[in-house]
Chains A and B, each alone.
Chain A
Amino acid sequence: MAKTILCPTRGGKPSYPNQDQAIALAKERDAELLFLYVSNVRFLGRTASPILVDIETELDEMGEFLLTMAQERAEKAGVKADIIVRRGAFREALKNIMEEREISAVVLGSSAEGTGYTTREYIQELSAEMSAKTGVEFIVVHEGRVVSSHKPGSPQEAGQEGP
């Protein structure tokens, strides 16, 4: 059975370097890629205006489109890729996917300063926690560079910081 690398992504130009890193890794390890998009409509929580639109479906469609773009990039590089769209809290969605699918590694990326919604610190902390819980390797990339890797049961378990 082919190994699967999970790559959560939000799409858009700033996420391309991180997607490329995941694609390169998948190619190197002869693995398949699974791109994940998670939408969260918590931002509508405090509004006084009427929410008459099925925004969750709209965001699902947008996520699917952005992942299709990522999928095309992977396929162009000769890597087989699948896509999956989820709703809700990112941490929870990630946990669920890892329970449902057999994932060999996760590539988590933070974008360039000022463009990413999730910070590098958050990604690092999440990777360490999830890696310890699931026993799966977590690779953190920032602007297309691997900055740390969390691999349980190896000398790098505590997280190896990149340059």
Chain B
Amino acid sequence: MTKADFKGHSRLVRFSLVAGLGLIALILSATAFFNTGHASQGQGEYVITGQLVDTQGQPVQEAQISAKLPGAEEPLVQVDSQEDGSWALILPRVPQNELLIEISRPHFASQTVALRSQQANELATADTYNFGTITLERRITAGFWVSTVVFLAILLLIAFETLHSTTAALAGASLIFLVSYVGGALNPGLFIFGFDRGISYINWEVIFLVMGMMILIAIVEGTGVFQWTAFQAYRLSRGRSWLLVLILMGVTATASAMLDNFTTMLLMTPISLQIGIAIGISPLALIIPEVLASNVGGITTLIGTPTNILIGAFAGIGFNDFLINQTVGVILALAAMAGFVLYHYRDEFRKQSGGISPRLYETLAENAEIEDAQALWKSGAVFLLVLLGFILGEKVHLVPAVPALAGATALLIWLNPDVHKMITAVDWTTLVFFMALFIVVGAIQEVGLLSFIAGGMSRMIGENLPLGTFVIVFGVGTVSMAIANIPLTASMLPIVKFLSTTIPGANSKVLYYALSMGAAMGGNGLLIGGEANLVTAGITRQTDTPISFAEFLKVGLPVTYLTLAVGFLWLLIRF
């Protein structure tokens, strides 16, 4: 291609772009014009309005509202209720006789209200008539039981590692849709929700935030900064293993607040094993405290744990909110944890390290060196900018997924890594897990299971905020020892939302913070309580010093209740 050809080609591309944009602008303008025209045609018509709520006062959306004349088969007009439960029927004229308003929605008892002559007169005079709030009663359908069984089955399949978490969640989502469509055709009670409604439960903010962070972390982890930090901790401690464990706990907790705790432990465990074995103490005296600190440290930030990402996106809790409201509580919990760890492993920490040979020291230093200094400072700079985006973005209502995606893209442009490699660094199984899980949790929300649980909890807690906080912190903390905390948190969110409206003072979102603490700290109770625990145990099994269930329990269980208690007390003080 000659230079003239290139210029001509470039001009053609620019012209095409401008023409394309112009066409889009034209279409948008025309759409806006016709929409305005359509709206103006509606003037002078008669509007009947109302709002639908369930027995807990929560809005009922996507209910079908039909206006029918008595005895008629076909409705005169039909609409769906909106997100806030409101609906508006537009009639061409005022009915001469009684008009029946039929309200139906799967998993609720259908209801009919009548527009009588007196109300019709009001409609004729004012052009509108408002039925006010109409309460719909929940109905337990066959779909309710199907959704409940599917959700419980997923929890069990994940807990017993019978299926990969993603396969389990995907199987659940598929089953929900199959039962809805195939079963629903045979027995309407089996209908749970349609495809569009199911997909609407997916929280795309969570998906894009997780995706953006995955790319960022994949670039940062390749620099070797975490292994380098662990080695520096060893150097700093000068053979004092009690100091080494404290520094490693601090490093792990801080790293977990920036990355996720699973990734942090993947990075920290191998190097910590090497250090522990080399200095002649049980490496578990370093690694178990590290994993406990990683599970708690992540609570400080929005991006520190997947559960915080879920909570943040659902409740509109931003990066700053987590930082301000949780950090002191987390530091206090870590201090209590450190005290217990130093006491529990006192015999190990009393052992005098004989130091390691120059050859081993060199190997260790080699394994812990910064792999790519240039990538480190570039990714470090972008990571800081992303954090700034999280902190300052809230002022302009910037959702956290945007700085994460922008940062990931900036690094891809700046560092110019192999894009295919970076895109494969996005763990699609995790994203699919989240999407499928949202659908399944949406199903148990749709059929009313979560409403029933929320109602029960509300009756138990009453209007007592400290009791509510206690129940969430310790209840969720205890359950999440054995149940995967991501599905648990996802299913608890609508319940906490409801409780936040019924308990005076809970609009401070304290119950969401309680959920965050319970879900993360509870993961420390048992070895199976969190994926970070399991992956750490998996790595230690690569040596002759594996973490056993009992060994973890001896430290994890007391630390869990200790940190839950500290976290609970902090929330009482803070709110």
What is the minimal beta-carbon distance from B305 to any residue of chain A, in angstroms? 11
For window 66-85 of A, CB contacts with B under 8 Å fall at 66, 68-69, 72
**Complex Cα spacing A69 to B544, Å:** 14
A12 touches B430 (CB 8 A): no
For window 31-79 of A, CB contacts with B under 8 Å fall at 39-41, 43-55, 58-59, 61-66, 68-69, 72
A12-39 to B contact mask, C-beta < 8 Å, 1/0? 1111000000000000000000000001
Query: Does B319 make an interface contact (CB < 8 A)?
Result: no
A61 touches B270 (CB 8 A): yes
For window 217-243 of B, CB contacts with A under 8 Å fall at 217-218, 221-222, 227
Residues of A within 8 A of B544 (CB): 9-15, 111, 115-117
Residue of B282, B283, B363, B531 near A48 (CB, 8 A) is: B531
What is the minimal beta-carbon distance from A119 to any residue of chain B, in angstroms? 13
A50 touches B430 (CB 8 A): yes
Residue of B260, B277, B278, B542 near A49 (CB, 8 A) is: B260
A46 touches B165 (CB 8 A): yes
A68 touches B360 (CB 8 A): yes
A117 touches B546 (CB 8 A): yes
B268-307 to A contact mask, C-beta < 8 Å, 1/0? 0011011001101011000000000000000000000010
Query: Does B266 make an interface contact (CB < 8 A)?
Result: yes
**Complex Cα spacing A58 to B274, Å:** 11
A69 touches B548 (CB 8 A): no
Query: Does B110 make an interface contact (CB < 8 A)?
Result: no
Query: Does B357 make an interface contact (CB < 8 A)?
Result: yes
Residues of B within 8 A of A155 (CB): none
Query: Does A163 make an interface contact (CB < 8 A)?
Result: no
What is the minimal beta-carbon distance from A136 to any residue of chain B, in angstroms? 24
B543 touches A64 (CB 8 A): no
What is the minimal beta-carbon distance from A134 to any residue of chain B, in angstroms? 25
A69 touches B531 (CB 8 A): no
**Complex Cα spacing A114 to B425, Å:** 36
Residue of B163, B277, B367, B486 near A13 (CB, 8 A) is: B277
Residues of A within 8 A of B262 (CB): 47, 49-50
Residue of B217, B270, B283 near A58 (CB, 8 A) is: B270
B433 touches A48 (CB 8 A): yes
A46 touches B548 (CB 8 A): no
A58 touches B267 (CB 8 A): yes
Query: Does B99 make an interface contact (CB < 8 A)?
Result: no
Known A48-B429, A72-B359; judge A59-B221 contact (CB<8 A).
no
Residues of A within 8 A of B541 (CB): 43, 117
**Complex Cα spacing A46 to B163, Å:** 7
Residues of B within 8 A of A49 (CB): 260, 262-263, 306, 427, 430, 531-532, 535
Residues of A within 8 A of B542 (CB): 10, 39-40, 59, 62-63
Closest to B167 in A: A46
Known A10-B543, A13-B277; judge A47-B217 contact (CB<8 A).
no
A100-135 to B contact mask, C-beta < 8 Å, 1/0? 000000000001001111000000000000000000
| B side interface size, CB within 8 A | 57
A54 touches B270 (CB 8 A): no
Query: Does B166 make an interface contact (CB < 8 A)?
Result: yes
Residues of A within 8 A of B161 (CB): 46
B254-268 to A contact mask, C-beta < 8 Å, 1/0? 000000101100110
Closest to B218 in A: A52
**Complex Cα spacing A46 to B535, Å:** 10
Residue of A12, A15, A53, A117 near B221 (CB, 8 A) is: A53
**Complex Cα spacing A44 to B542, Å:** 12
Known A62-B270, A64-B363; judge A44-B538 contact (CB<8 A).
yes
Known A52-B263, A59-B539; judge A69-B164 contact (CB<8 A).
no
Known A52-B221, A72-B360; judge A65-B164 contact (CB<8 A).
no
Most chain A C-beta atoms within 10 Å of own C-beta, residue among B270, B280, B484, B543: B543
For window 419-461 of B, CB contacts with A under 8 Å fall at 425-427, 429-430, 433
What is the minimal beta-carbon distance from A68 to any residue of chain B, in angstroms? 5
B274 touches A65 (CB 8 A): yes
B367 touches A65 (CB 8 A): yes
B263 touches A50 (CB 8 A): yes
Closest to A14 in B: B544
**Complex Cα spacing A15 to B273, Å:** 14
A65 touches B363 (CB 8 A): yes
B301-327 to A contact mask, C-beta < 8 Å, 1/0? 000001000000000000000000000
What is the minimal beta-carbon distance from A137 to any residue of chain B, in angstroms? 23
**Complex Cα spacing A122 to B227, Å:** 34
Residues of B within 8 A of A52 (CB): 214, 217-218, 221, 263, 266, 425, 427
Residues of A within 8 A of B283 (CB): 12
Please list 28 pairs of residues, one from A and one from B, whose beta carbons are closer than 8 Å in the complex, sorted by A's number.
A13-B277, A13-B544, A41-B538, A44-B535, A44-B538, A45-B164, A47-B535, A48-B164, A48-B165, A49-B306, A49-B532, A50-B426, A52-B214, A53-B267, A54-B221, A55-B270, A58-B271, A61-B270, A62-B273, A62-B274, A62-B367, A65-B364, A66-B274, A69-B278, A69-B360, A115-B545, A117-B544, A117-B546
Given contacts A52-B425, A66-B274, A115-B545, 13 further A-B contacts (CB under 8 A): A13-B544, A43-B534, A43-B541, A48-B430, A48-B484, A48-B531, A50-B427, A50-B429, A52-B263, A59-B542, A62-B273, A69-B278, A117-B541
Task: Please list the 10 inter-chain residue pairs (A to B) with the smallest Cβ-Cβ separation, ordered nearest first.
Answer: A43-B538, A50-B427, A48-B165, A49-B262, A12-B544, A53-B266, A12-B545, A62-B270, A14-B544, A15-B544
Interface residues of B (CB under 8 A from A): 158, 161, 163-166, 169, 210, 214, 217-218, 221-222, 227, 260, 262-263, 266-267, 270-271, 273-274, 277-278, 280, 282-283, 306, 357, 359-360, 363-364, 367, 425-427, 429-430, 433, 484, 486, 531-532, 534-535, 537-539, 541-546, 548
Interface residues of A (CB under 8 A from B): 9-15, 39-41, 43-55, 58-59, 61-66, 68-69, 72, 111, 114-117
